[in-house]
Every structure is written in structure tokens, then in C-alpha cells.
Amino acid sequence: MKKAIVTGANGFVGSHVCRALCAEGIAVTAVVKDENENIDNIRELENLTVVYCELSDIESLSSRPDSDHDVFYHFAWVGSAGPLRCDEEMQLQNALWTAKALRTADALGCKKFVNAGSIMEKETYCAVYTQDSKPGLPYIYGAGKLAARAVCKPIANSLDIDLCWAVITNAYGAGEFSPRFVNSTIRKIIANEPLQFTAATQNYDFIYVDDVAKAFVAIGKYGKPNREYTIGSGNARPLKEFILEMQQALAPDAEPVFGNVPFSGVNMPLEAFDTTAIREDCGFTPSIPFAEGARMTMDWILQVD
């Protein structure tokens, strides 16, 4: 891999992937929504060119003169957090845009298309197809990801491009501003707020964003067509164990309370988090333990707040 194109390049995961690619001397075309977007997290990277393009106009990239990229990484997705997770029109539109991005990658001569999927796909499948289940509106986001995969896989096999679907378990770390679990819990610790959770018996996994970026680079180099690669720590376990590890590392005097918050999600089996494929096909294993990553994240939050 000598040249890569990355959509959503200034996002949390996308920016770290750009950084990891550039660090290996790979030329990166970073696709960003528009000129109003903040690109401070990638602005100074060497060997990186920023291109502005709305997702709705993604096909216009195929007319660019520098169409000799090897791998197309697709991270851009509208409504991955917040109210738009529950908007069926937006989430289904994302699936369509992903298909258009795949066709654009093929038109650009890319040999491989690596899409950023989510563990929510598996959770959504269980939630929707389990008899008598009552999934809530946030599962519409996962449904959009499922629809994207269902559409893209046959398209890729009709074209001359390999499709790799990367399923991110739960990425966390420096650079994330969203109120997702690790981020919000650390901010509660910093503010000395009560640490109240569900019973936290559901299985979970977390992986630090630098390791996520390295995983995507490895998939770009070695990923095989029509394969799913789960990006996780390789040590999935009940959420309670992660919470206690984070509390002991960051706030040993705090007393987390379990069971005060209702849980309405799906408890995924440990097999859903299996990372064997990425380890065996791509030679990737993460290097940052959870407690260390939590400390690094807390240090970053304290710096930026």
C-alpha cells in the first residue's frame, strides 16, 4: 500500500488512521466534508492532501486526476452519535452513500475498500430478529450499518475490488469529544460525580484508538476479500470488570454503584467479540492495556478542558 484515500478523515477514528498511515510513509488523500470543518488534528501531517467533498457528492471523487490509490478507507457517516442515530432516513441514506463510496473506490482503481463497521451491527441483528424483542430507536443506527454491508458485499463481488468489513467494538481515547461510555465515565470521575451503572453484566470490549488505527492499517495491507475483521482488545468480558479496572486506575477511593440504572440493550455472547481473524490474517494484536488507555484518556481530557 503506497496511497490511500480516507473519508471522514478529521473524525475521531479517521484522523488517527490518517496519522498511522502517514507515519508509515503512505500518501493519504483525506476527504473532509467542507471547508468549515476543523482539520487541526490532521493539518500538520506530512504526505497528506485534504480534499473537501460532501458525502452526497462522493461520486465526484472518481473524476480526480490522481486516481491511483491502493486502498479506500470509509469512515464518513452522518449521525453516528446523537439524535440522528434514531433517524431512519439519515441512516438508510448513509448505507446508500457507503455503496456509492464503494463504486467510487472501484472507479478510482483502488484494490481494496475497508469500511468502518460497528459491533452495533451484531447487537442490532440480535435485537431485531429475536422473537418478542422490543429494540429501541437507537438501533436504527445499527440497522443502517447492517443495510450498508448487505448492499456493499454483492456490489464488491460484481466489481474488481476487495471488500473488508472492520467491526469496531468500542474505540476510546485521546481526541474523542462524544459522550460515549469511557469518555463520560472519566468526566464523572474528574467532576467527583456519583458513579452509577447498570448491573453491568453484559459483555463488552474496549480498544484504545491508537490500536484501532494500527488495526486499520493492517487490514489495508493484509485483509482478505469478503471477510469481517473485529477490532477489539481480544479480552472481552462483562462491563463491570472494565468499570472496576477504570475506577481502580483513576479513582481508587470512589465507590461505583451497580444496578441503579436500568439496562434495555442486548447482552452479546463473547464469541461476537472474537478477534481471531484479524490476528491470523493481518498479524494485528493491540498493545495498550485498558487501564493504561484510560489514564491516557483522562490526562488528555484534563489538558483540553
Domains annotated for the chain, with CATH where assigned, are: 3-176+206-234+270-287 (3.40.50.720)
How much is the mean pLDDT over the chain? 96
| Cα-to-chain-centroid distance, residue 227 | 17
pLDDT level of residue 63 (50, 70, 90 thresholds): confident
Separation between Cα atoms, residue 74 and residue 29, nearest integer Å: 12
Q: What does the pLDDT look like over 78-102, one tens digit per residue?
A: 998 889 999 999 999 999 999 999 9
Average pLDDT of the residues in 2-10:
97
Assess whether pLDDT exceeds 90 at residue 151. yes
Separation between Cα atoms, residue 173 and residue 207, nearest integer Å: 8
Q: Give the pLDDT score at 121.
A: 96
Separation between Cα atoms, residue 48 and residue 25, nearest integer Å: 10
Separation between Cα atoms, residue 197 and residue 260, nearest integer Å: 6
Q: What does the pLDDT look like over 205-254, one tens digit per residue?
A: 999 999 999 999 999 999 999 999 999 999 999 999 999 999 999 999 99
* Cβ–Cβ under 8 Å, residues 229 and 169: no
* Cβ–Cβ under 8 Å, residues 147 and 180: no
Q: Give the pLDDT score at 127.
A: 93
Assess whether pLDDT exceeds 80 at residue 148. yes
Range list of H helices, the chain: 12-23, 88-107, 120-129, 139-158, 181-190, 209-222, 239-250, 276-282, 290-304
- 10 Å CB burial of residue 158 (0-12, 13-18, 19+) is exposed
Q: Give the pLDDT score at 64.
A: 77
Q: Give the pLDDT score at 70.
A: 96
pLDDT level of residue 106 (50, 70, 90 thresholds): very high
Residue type, position 70, single letter:
D
Share above pLDDT 90 across residues of the chain, in percent, rounded to a whole number: 93
Assess whether pLDDT exceeds 80 at residue 67. no
| Cα-to-chain-centroid distance, residue 73 | 11
Residue whose C-alpha cell is 472496576: 244
Q: Give the pLDDT score at 19.
A: 98
pLDDT level of residue 38 (50, 70, 90 thresholds): very high
Average pLDDT of the residues in 184-197:
96
Question: Of 161, 75, 72, whose CA–CA distance to 111 is shortest?
Answer: 161
Quote the Cα angle for 279-232-46, to 5°. Answer: 85
Q: Give the pLDDT score at 191.
A: 96
Instruction: Answer with the residue of higher pLDDT: 52 or 65.
Output: 52
- 10 Å CB burial of residue 255 (0-12, 13-18, 19+) is exposed
Report helix, strand or coil for 141.
helix
